[in-house]
Amino acid sequence: MNIILFEPEIPANTGNIGRTCVATGTKLHLIEPLGFRLDEKEIKRAGLDYWKDLDVTVYENYDDFLRRNPNAKIYMATTKARHVYTEVSYEPDCFIMFGKESAGIPEEILLENKETSIRIPMIGDIRSLNLSNSVAIVLYEALRQQNFDHMRLLGNLHHHSWEEAK
């Protein structure tokens, strides 16, 4: 799986998304300009010590991304989409793109990708969800459709720790 962040502005969101990508074996693609430097403390703090394990690529702009990924199947996450994110069948190597926090994905890009645009349902006039929450929601649906391939599905409960908690 691949997550694309189009011109992200808030370092904590990108750090959180980076951590989610490491936890899921997902590649992160960042399209400049970024609203921060990649060496900023906030990014590392939000991504904790996982940032060093992140598979991340930075692109000059959207055209640079398209040039370097000519066969990319891209789903565009936007509040303007007609399709709900659960109605899509995600391919294992697809890309899911999210726009910058203040403005989303530019309309001209969305118009070229109407059929692969997806939305997370919300009530009322809520403008959008937090970017890192949105990435987690859609990414985990795509991973669920792949049966969480290569991910650990079982946890371990240690009986004695439950006894101590009483």
Residue 132 assigned as binding residue: no
User: How far is CA 148 from each of CA 25, 70, 135, 139, rounded to the nearest angstrom?
Assistant: 10, 26, 16, 11
CA atoms within 13 A on the CB side of 40: 15
- How far apart CA 47 and CA 31 sit, in angstroms, is 18
Annotated binding residues for S-adenosyl-L-methionine, written as ranges, equal 99, 120, 128
Annotated binding residues, written as ranges, equal 99, 120, 128
